[in-house]
Amino acid sequence: MAVNAVLKQQMADLGLTQEELAARMNAALLDITGRPGDVSDRTVRNLISGATRRPIGRTRKALEAVFRCSLKDLGFACPSTTAPPEGPVERRQFITAGTAIALTSAAPAFSVPRRVGASDIERLHRRFADVVANDHRHGGQLAIEHKAAALADEALSLQASGHASQRVRKQVYASAAAFRSSAMWAAIDGRRFEDATRHMRVAQQLAEMAGDPYIKFRIWSHAGTMYRHMGRPADAAAANDVARKLNITRQDPMFASLGLARQGAIHGAAGDGTAARRAFDQSQDAMLRAYPQAQRPVWMNAFYDQAELDSLALSAFLALGDFERAEAHGHRCLAALRPHMHRSKAIATTRVARAQLEQGDVETAIASAMSVPADASIRHPRVVGMLHTFGRRLETIAPGAALAHTWNQYARDTWRQTA
């Protein structure tokens, strides 16, 4: 097998990894056929290695659409055929009569490209805002993850659909990275860590191509949260440090505040109370220094505020066993949460219930747990897991009590809806 050096060079010219080329080919197939593609990085490896010498069908269409040239120009042998050569007139008649769909599908790869401009970027920004809003309402859902990943591929398909200035091209890459980071977050929230890791790797590559420090911050900060939830505090701290060392944390104290608050949560998970308290004090100071009207990305404005800082502190002190301090931060969080933060409210309420239970206030704890909206308590993976833990701790703290029976009956009635 001879390595396809031409294809390797074409990929290098566009700065594409094998995984990124697979994503672009799938986006092209979705655009051409209306159905998602199933190209994998293994498919691309076979194309590069020479294991696949004559790509046909959907693979051929996708390659020609992405690179805007023929298979021959990509170093492949053209698919063999026993048909005699056709003249231009006969070929046009054949296509018109028998393969109109194929002509329509292939046309975008060879037609005069359009100009990708500001209106396309604005459309991507609007769709990203919708993804962020859905995440705050529902959180962790597989549908959100898949939608965000599909929108990332759609953004990348713009790169193959027309000409763009370097500035616009970087904005397209930044939008694709933002969508992928949302897919990553939905997977983290849904406890699908393998999928989250896959989204993270693609998002990091796209962010580098975009050169956008804001989306780099989001991705690395999410990575720190992911590793914290996976029980890997050392990796979590290392990833979060990448975000904290970006220049934007020096330019805007609000980003510094978020980085420090997430670092505090990581210290809490690692059992370092002194470091956690110091991080949250520094985070609070940075937030007070931040200019409220500064221009920030939509994802930052949509979620980070005093309520989120207190939510992270609630998580940290709950992990440290400082239940009184955790409950105090929890009440501050719930009092300050904006109305659209449904997912955050359910998580904070569940954690407050746990903090109350650990302090022996069983009746209040059960009332808090039962106030979690039923939708979240049966559909949000993180909330479901925390409520199951709450039930187990209740059995340990107040075994056989009437209040424990009340909770168990409520839980059975609620979770029966998932059956």
Which pLDDT tens digit goes with each residue over 313-343? Answer: 999 999 999 999 999 999 999 999 988 888 8
Q: Distance (Å, rounded) from C-alpha 72 to C-alpha 247?
A: 46
Q: Distance (Å, rounded) from C-alpha 49 to C-alpha 26?
A: 20
Between 168 and 102, name the one with better pLDDT. 168
- The torsion angle over the Cα atoms of residues 14, 15, 20 and 26, rounded to 10 degrees, is 0
Q: Distance (Å, rounded) from C-alpha 289 to C-alpha 45?
A: 50
pLDDT of res. 110? 35
pLDDT of res. 162? 61
- Burial-class residue 130 by CB neighbours within 10 Å (0-12, 13-18, 19+): exposed
User: What is Dmax (Cα atoms) for the chain?
Assistant: 89
The residues spanned by each domain of the chain are 5-75+95-111, 113-211
Residues 33/17, Cβ–Cβ less than 8 Å: no
The neighbouring-strand residues paired with 163 are: 115
Over 50: is that where the pLDDT of 401 sits?
A: yes
Average pLDDT over residues 5-17: 79
Look at the alpha carbons of 295, 174, 225, 183 in this order and tell me if their dihedral is positive or negative: positive
Lowest mean pLDDT among 91-105, 155-169, 211-225: 91-105
Task: Give the pTM.
Answer: 0.70
Least Cα distance to 220 among 269, 262, 168 occurs for: 262
**Strands (E) located in 73-138:** 114-115
Residue 149 φ/ψ, nearest 5 degrees: -65, -40
Highest mean pLDDT: which of 23-32, 75-84, 236-245?
236-245
pLDDT of res. 161? 61
Average pLDDT over residues 222-238: 96
pLDDT of res. 99? 31
Residues 184/203, Cβ–Cβ less than 8 Å: yes
Q: Distance (Å, rounded) from C-alpha 404 to C-alpha 358?
A: 14
Which structure tokens are listed for 273? 């109370």
pLDDT of res. 418? 47
In the block, tokens 């996976």 appear at: 230
In the block, tokens 């859905």 appear at: 134
Locate all alpha helices (DSSP H) within 290-322, ordered by sequence: 298-303, 306-320
Average pLDDT over residues 369-373: 90
Count Cβ atoms below 10 Å from residue 36 Cβ, excluding itself: 13
Average pLDDT over residues 225-246: 96
